[in-house]
Structure 1
Amino acid sequence: MRVRVGIGALVGIVGGPATYARELVAALVRAGGHDYVVFTDQPGAFRHLGIETVEVPLPTPYHQISWDHWRLPGLVAAARVDLYHGTKNVLPWRLSVPAAVTVHDLAVYAQPGSFSWGQRWHLRLLLPRSVAMATRVITPSAHARDDVLARFRVAAGRTRSIPHGVAAHWLAPPSAAASAAFRARHALGERLIACVGTVQPRKRAERVIEAFVRSGIARAGWELVLAGRLRPGYAPPWLQTLPPHVRWLGALPDDELHALYAAAPITVSASEYEGFGLALSEAMAGGSAVIAVASSAVPEVVGDAGCLVARSDPALLAEALARLVAEPERRAALGARARARAATFTWDEAARRTREVYDEVRG
């Protein structure tokens, strides 16, 4: 039965949930079958899809509370949708239709220091209520689902674990000209190690820097390149005193990230907690051999296509890094396996399974 689905999609704040909203909506539209109305702060992100959008302005990230709970309810009611999907952890306080919610992770409980006090207050108040309200709760990994089940005592039958996809453009190598232009633009050498992700406490970028220095590979001409947006209000001390051969590029557009992953045969993450790990899956799609921590959802994403260390420890990361640098054949084999594994995560499959959730919610 064809239904009218309302989707809340905050995409003006760069990060995993924004990528999820954009890519999932595009895949749902490709699949057809339902009508979609997207409530978003950035209508332009969906204009090419030819679907109905309702602009809900978001002046700053700190206004998400008013976006979710004061602006949305009336707009959702006016749009006369049959069900609503909140794609970023919470549902509006008032809803007149059944709903699904995607809970990306429970980092606000596991790593509270990564959030401002306002974010902590908002999520800790609304996450439990949203999970209780939702007919179905979607998580991007089995680990995130287990976290939700353990903390909120929700019935297992109301939850669905649906992995994120990897967009096809990450799997296609950039042109030689694009790669050369990227290196020239940022004055980068030929031997690069990448570390990508939103800069916030739980990503532990400082441990990657320490591991790089400990490994001694800078003496062989290797550079560590860090990229990602700074979490608002967070100013890590390491930004002021970067060691030699460590570069900070800040937030990069997708085409530049694409070039970085293709140029860096190794990508390192010291993150202690991930609901999925899009930065890792996108690096893998670029053929970069991944070194990461065997915790939270990371093993579900990396599998046997990367090097997992037991904990977020600079000594362990340095050892793994030195080994991969010293073993080019193993590095190349891991990169090939990483690309193949990343190709198994598709947004079309995520959309198919999400569509099944909509059918369950609608009954």
Structure 2
Amino acid sequence: MRQAAFAIPGDIDTVTGGYIYERRLLEELRALGHDVAHVQLAASFPDPSDTDMNDAVTQLVALDPARALILDGLVYGSIATEGLARVRAPIVAMIHHPLALETGLATAQRMHLFRTEKANLALARHVLVPSPHTARILRDDYGVPGAKITIAQPGTDVKGGTPSPVDPPLILSVGLQHPRKGHDVLLNALAELRDLPWRAAIVGGVHNAEHAALLARMVEDLALSDRMTLMGRVPQDVLDGLYATASVFALATRYEGYGMVFDEALAWGLPIISCATGAVPDTVPKGAGILVASDNVGELSGALGRVLTDKALRGRMARIALRAGSKLPTWKDTARVAGGVLDSLNA
């Protein structure tokens, strides 16, 4: 088996989809017998200081070329190209979604990230992505040959449990308090459904303090505080309890490179209301969800209203979701795909 190093910025135990993916991939590659070293880079990527940039380049250049380097996308899309070109180890880029597609970037920053990531991808021996959507973008917009891209779909540990939906129905949303997750759109949509019985919870840590403060103000201004809770980050057993008692999963995301929370919702047999953006249409099976346009409050409230008021529809969607959830890959499956890529690299 090919030895490797996995370079990841910041705390590997950070609770986001990207970090969970990489931590589990590292663990499962090791469990399969791969010798994979963890290289911790500065948490400031993708906007590193000069010191952090120099430290990252120094660590990566010093790697034994006998080890393949798996490099996290937050670093890959923003590290100086001239520094990356000095790395002697064969490079496998781990791209969850291109950095230039992040929500809220200024035009100049977006173009800088696009140019940097495109130039850096030309240096990769291979590229791992979580979804067909990301593969298409890298091929069509970044010029990466299809033969150099492998889709390693995220695994899931979620086995689901016995659903015990509460009354009134609970609408569950899981995602960081970050503009890209669209929680502001969800709140506005819920405000249009005051005449229906429901409760709602948004679970996810604060990634952007200003946006989190905005969401808290919106809950008050929209008079939703009596049935909407911004829960922040919660322990897994609490989250499992919310999935078990929910009737609908809703995420008004503006973009996803995959969206691992959709797999969790499927495993729990929840109907999904989300947006037809990024990899969401690839991730949410037909019949298990209703996908609307991003940033369209009216369409989102309409979809939620349909599922809340049509018990038969909700039941059909739940059954389709549960069947799809039972067929999701494990993290060992994901690691086998990635390990095959490592073993295929020439010295």
| Fold conserved between structures, TM > 0.5 | yes
Task: From the superposition, tell whether residues 255 and 60 of structure 1 become closer, same or farther in structure 2 (CA, over 3 Å).
Answer: farther
1:229 aligns with 2:205: yes
Q: Pick from 218, 222, 238: which aligns with 1:241?
A: 218
Q: Pick from 304, 307, 316: which aligns with 1:321?
A: 304
Task: From the superposition, tell whether residues 64 and 151 of structure 1 become closer, same or farther in structure 2 (CA, over 3 Å).
Answer: farther
Separation (CA, whole Å) in 2 of partners of 1:112 and 1:69: 27
User: Secondary structure of 1:362's partner?
Assistant: coil
Separation (CA, whole Å) in 2 of partners of 1:341 and 1:148: 27
1:35 aligns with 2:47: no
2:96 paired residue number: 104
- Identify the structure with the greater helix proportion: 1
1:171 aligns with 2:122: no
Separation (CA, whole Å) in 2 of partners of 1:352 and 1:256: 31
Query: Which digits, 9 at most, give the CA deviation of each residue in 1:142-185, with x for residues without a partner?
Result: 11111111222122211122211112xx2242899xx9xxxxxx
Alignment of 1:162-241 (within 5 A): 162-167=152-157, 170-173=158-161, 191-216=169-194, 219-220=196-197, 222-236=198-212, 237-241=214-218
Separation (CA, whole Å) in 2 of partners of 1:120 and 1:319: 33
After the TM superposition, which parts of structure 1 deviate over 6 Å for at least 4 consecutive aligned residues?
116-119
User: Secondary structure of 2:150's partner?
Assistant: strand
Query: Which digits, 9 at most, give the CA deviation of each residue in 1:194-245, with x for residues without a partner?
Result: 111122222211111121121335x42x111112122235325232131322
Q: Determine what percentage of the aligned residue pairs are the same residue.
A: 23
Separation (CA, whole Å) in 2 of partners of 1:21 and 1:354: 11
1:256 paired residue number: 238
Q: Pick from 328, 341, 344: which aligns with 2:324?
A: 341
Separation (CA, whole Å) in 2 of partners of 1:30 and 1:311: 41
2:344 paired residue number: 360
1:303 paired residue number: 285
User: Secondary structure of 2:252's partner?
Assistant: coil
1:136 aligns with 2:145: no
Letter in 1 for 2:305: A
Separation (CA, whole Å) in 1 of partners of 2:66 and 2:39: 11
Decide whether the 8 Å contact of 1:90 with 1:103 is kept in 2. no
User: Secondary structure of 2:73's partner?
Assistant: coil
Task: From the superposition, tell whether residues 263 and 122 of structure 1 become closer, same or farther in structure 2 (CA, over 3 Å).
Answer: farther
User: Secondary structure of 1:95's partner?
Assistant: coil
Letter in 1 for 2:276: A
User: Secondary structure of 2:119's partner?
Assistant: helix
Aligned length: 330
What 5-or-longer segments of structure 1 have no aligned partner?
A: 41-55, 180-187
User: Secondary structure of 1:288's partner?
Assistant: coil
Query: Which digits, 9 at most, give the CA deviation of each residue in 1:262-307, with x for residues without a partner?
Result: 2212011111211101122112222221111122211111112422
2:252 paired residue number: 270
What 5-or-longer segments of structure 2 have no aligned partner?
A: none
2:8 paired residue number: 9
Separation (CA, whole Å) in 2 of partners of 1:84 and 1:285: 33
Shift in Å, 1:310: 3.5
Task: From the superposition, tell whether residues 207 and 59 of structure 1 become closer, same or farther in structure 2 (CA, over 3 Å).
Answer: closer
2:69 paired residue number: 84
Separation (CA, whole Å) in 1 of partners of 2:174 and 2:47: 24
Task: From the superposition, tell whether residues 3 and 309 of structure 1 become closer, same or farther in structure 2 (CA, over 3 Å).
Answer: closer
Shift in Å, 1:120: 5.5
Shift in Å, 1:111: 4.1
Separation (CA, whole Å) in 2 of partners of 1:303 and 1:65: 44
Task: From the superposition, tell whether residues 239 and 279 of structure 1 become closer, same or farther in structure 2 (CA, over 3 Å).
Answer: same
Letter in 2 for 1:314: V
1:292 paired residue number: 274
Which stretch of structure 1 is more off in the superposition, 196-205 or 71-80? 71-80
Letter in 1 for 2:92: A
2:25 paired residue number: 24
Task: From the superposition, tell whether residues 66 and 190 of structure 1 become closer, same or farther in structure 2 (CA, over 3 Å).
Answer: farther
Separation (CA, whole Å) in 1 of partners of 2:115 and 2:66: 26
Calculate the TM-score normalised by the size of structure 1.
Answer: 0.80
Separation (CA, whole Å) in 1 of partners of 2:49 and 2:154: 23
- RMSD of the TM alignment (CA)? 3.1
Letter in 2 for 1:324: V
Calculate the TM-score normalised by the size of structure 2.
Answer: 0.83
Separation (CA, whole Å) in 2 of partners of 1:66 and 1:12: 23
1:52 paired residue number: none
